[in-house]
């Protein structure tokens, strides 16, 4: 999509000692300079990367109200249809005008912020308490399927001649009960330590998601890996989370259902496993991979995904159980934390990658590990799945 020769030359000119020579199967092919038709500057690429998150800021505060007003099923159907349409027109807008594309990505981010509140409302109504951890783990697998399979498939489509190469990505991925809550007790919700744990946990969770989705390929590229390997390794970090969720979610419900643990204790264990466990691979990513052992990154990302799934299962379980009547409002509030985390992570990474800091990636991954540890500690003391009196 983007002609990386322009950006690569700019990058190598200021910090050539920070990148590795790319390894390819064909020594005559320069894969580092990925061909493309869009000569966007680094600043324009950064703006496009962040645009969806800024769009989410515009609507996330109202997503819960819209879900309560029109119903979760209607909001979910409408937002998915609009998201698909905006995805389909990306190639046309990209060729037509950069700012038209930018506006469409902002609009897409605003629409996407409606997905999770409506999905959580459906799960809160349809699943009993003893099955909500399993339901949360299964439903949230879509995030990993999208991030994992899309990265792998997109790498192949970029190198094909189908519909012009990169535009085919957007054409392929673009195909794609009434419940009214009473007035939400916002004051009590905002003062609840249980809600604070969910918000902090979601911030840490999506700080990591934004880095892995938007910038992991750049990190792998700087290690000198070819584009096919980058696609595989990016997929591993997401697809391994599906395997983790397939075990952790049902295990939470099983141990709670058999009386072995309370649901709160089970979710706390899962959160600690996910938060502290994922911090270790993140710290390894910040110190171990180099030009000489770049392939070790794949194993680290595999371990990261398997343990990271614990945080997702525990946080979604808590959202669905602490106040079923106010799930839409809680989802909107956690959505704000997700948007803030995404904007913060992309801003920090863009600033560091544009600077001459030698150890930018250790700083990036270490910050993600620190946020995970903070979230784990807070949930350990204040997290719960007990229905709150408000």
236-285 per-position pLDDT tens digit: 888 898 899 989 999 999 999 899 999 999 999 999 999 999 999 999 99
Q: Is the pLDDT of residue 47 over 60?
A: yes
The pLDDT value recorded for residue 78 is 85
DSSP string for residues in 112-134: HTTHHHHHHHHHHHHS-GGGHHH
Q: Is the pLDDT of residue 74 over 70?
A: yes
Whole-number Å distance between alpha carbons of 170 and 164: 11
3-state secondary structure of 38: strand
pLDDT tier for residue 146 given thresholds of 50, 70 and 90: low
The pLDDT value recorded for residue 160 is 57
Instruction: Report yes or no on 387 lying in a domain.
Output: no
Mean pLDDT, rounded, for 214-231? 87
The pLDDT value recorded for residue 376 is 96
3-state secondary structure of 2: strand
Domain that holds residue 237: 4-382
Instruction: Report yes or no on 245 lying in a domain.
Output: yes
DSSP state of 71: -
Q: Which of 12-21, 79-88, 111-120, 358-367 has the lowest mean pLDDT?
A: 12-21
In terms of Cβ atoms closer than 10 Å to its own Cβ (0-12, 13-18, 19+), residue 191 is: exposed
DSSP state of 19: S
pLDDT tier for residue 369 given thresholds of 50, 70 and 90: very high
Give the residues across from 351 on adjacent strands: none
Whole-number Å distance between alpha carbons of 333 and 327: 10
Instruction: Report yes or no on 32 lying in a domain.
Output: yes
346-364 per-position pLDDT tens digit: 888 888 877 778 888 999 9
Q: Which of 340, 326, 35 is closest to 184 using CA atoms?
A: 326
Instruction: Report yes or no on 296 lying in a domain.
Output: yes
Helices and strands in the chain, H and E counts: 17, 0
Could you give the number of structural domains in the chain?
1
Q: Which of 54-58, 99-103, 140-144, 366-370 has the lowest mean pLDDT?
A: 140-144
Whole-number Å distance between alpha carbons of 93 and 78: 22
Mean pLDDT, rounded, for 162-170? 50
The pLDDT value recorded for residue 204 is 95
Q: Which residue has the higher pLDDT, 212 or 133?
A: 212
Q: Which residue has the higher pLDDT, 111 or 372?
A: 372
In percent, the amount of the chain with pLDDT more than 70 equals 77
Lookup: tokens for 106: 């902002």
The pLDDT value recorded for residue 101 is 86
The pLDDT value recorded for residue 302 is 95
Instruction: Report yes or no on 389 lying in a domain.
Output: no
Whole-number Å distance between alpha carbons of 154 and 90: 15
Name residue, tokens 């390794």. 233
The pLDDT value recorded for residue 173 is 46
Q: Is the pLDDT of residue 154 over 80?
A: no
Instruction: Report yes or no on 121 lying in a domain.
Output: yes
Q: Is the pLDDT of residue 12 over 60?
A: no
Q: Is the pLDDT of residue 152 over 60?
A: no
Q: Mean pLDDT for the chain?
A: 78
The half-sphere exposure of 82 on its side-chain side, counting CA atoms within 13 A, is: 18
The pLDDT value recorded for residue 271 is 95
Whole-number Å distance between alpha carbons of 19 and 356: 12
Instruction: Report yes or no on 388 lying in a domain.
Output: no
In terms of Cβ atoms closer than 10 Å to its own Cβ (0-12, 13-18, 19+), residue 144 is: buried
Kindly provide the b/e burial profile for residues 256-293, where b requires at least 16 CB atoms within 10 angstroms of the residue's own CB.
bbeeebebbebbbbbbbbbbbbbbebbbbbbeebeeee
16-34 per-position pLDDT tens digit: 345 576 555 444 344 444 5
DSSP string for residues in 208-243: HHHHHHHTHHHHHHHTT--HHHHHHHHHHHHHHHHH
Checking phi first, is residue 163 left (phi over 0); if not, alpha (psi -120 to 50) or beta? Answer: left
Instruction: Report yes or no on 183 lying in a domain.
Output: yes
First vs last C-alpha separation in the chain:
50
Mean pLDDT, rounded, for 145-170? 55
Other Cβ atoms closer than 10 A to 87: 20
User: Any idea what the CATH number is for the domain that residue 213 is in?
Assistant: 1.20.1250.20
Other Cβ atoms closer than 10 A to 371: 24
The pLDDT value recorded for residue 162 is 52
Mean pLDDT, rounded, for 99-124? 81
162 to each of 156, 166, 172, how far by Cα in Å? 10, 8, 11
The pLDDT value recorded for residue 23 is 54
């Amino acid at each position: 999509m983007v002609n990386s020769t322009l950006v690569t030359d700019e990058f190598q000119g200021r910090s050539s000692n920070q990148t590795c020579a790319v390894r390819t199967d064909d020594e005559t092919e320069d894969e580092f300079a990925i061909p493309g038709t869009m000569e966007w500057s680094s600043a324009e690429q950064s703006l496009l990367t962040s645009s969806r998150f800024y769009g989410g800021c515009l609507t996330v505060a109202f997503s819960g109200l819209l879900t309560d007003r029109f119903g979760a099923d209607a909001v979910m159907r409408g937002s998915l249809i609009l998201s698909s349409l905006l995805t389909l027109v990306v190639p046309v807008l990209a060729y037509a005008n950069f700012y038209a594309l930018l506006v469409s990505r902002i609009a897409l981010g605003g629409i996407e912020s409606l997905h999770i509140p409506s999905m959580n409302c459906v799960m809160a109504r349809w699943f009993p308490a003893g099955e909500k951890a399993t339901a949360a783990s299964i439903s949230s697998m879509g995030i990993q399927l999208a991030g994992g399979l899309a990265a792998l498939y997109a790498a192949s489509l970029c190198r094909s001649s189908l519909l012009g190469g990169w535009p085919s990505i957007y054409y392929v991925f673009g195909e794609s009960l009434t419940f009214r809550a009473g007035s939400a007790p916002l004051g009590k919700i905002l003062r609840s330590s249980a809600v604070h744990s969910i918000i902090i946990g979601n911030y840490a969770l999506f700080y990591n998601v934004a880095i892995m989705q938007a910038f992991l390929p750049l990190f792998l590229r700087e290690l000198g890996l070819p584009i096919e390997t980058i696609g595989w390794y990016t997929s591993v970090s997401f697809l391994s989370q599906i395997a983790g969720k397939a075990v952790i979610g049902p295990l939470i419900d099983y141990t709670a259902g058999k009386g072995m643990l309370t649901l709160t204790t089970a979710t706390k264990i899962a959160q600690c496993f996910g938060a502290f466990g994922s911090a270790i691979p993140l710290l390894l990513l910040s110190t171990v991979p180099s030009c000489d052992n770049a392939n070790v990154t794949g194993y680290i990302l595999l371990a990261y995904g398997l343990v990271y799934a614990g945080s997702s299962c525990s946080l979604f379980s808590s959202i669905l159980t602490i106040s079923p009547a106010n799930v839409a409002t809680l989802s909107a509030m956690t959505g704000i934390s997700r948007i803030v985390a995404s904007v913060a992570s992309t801003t920090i990474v863009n600033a560091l990658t544009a600077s001459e800091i030698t150890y930018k990636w250790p700083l990036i991954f270490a910050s993600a590990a620190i946020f995970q540890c903070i979230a784990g500690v807070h949930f350990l003391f204040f997290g719960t799945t007990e229905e709150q009196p408000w």
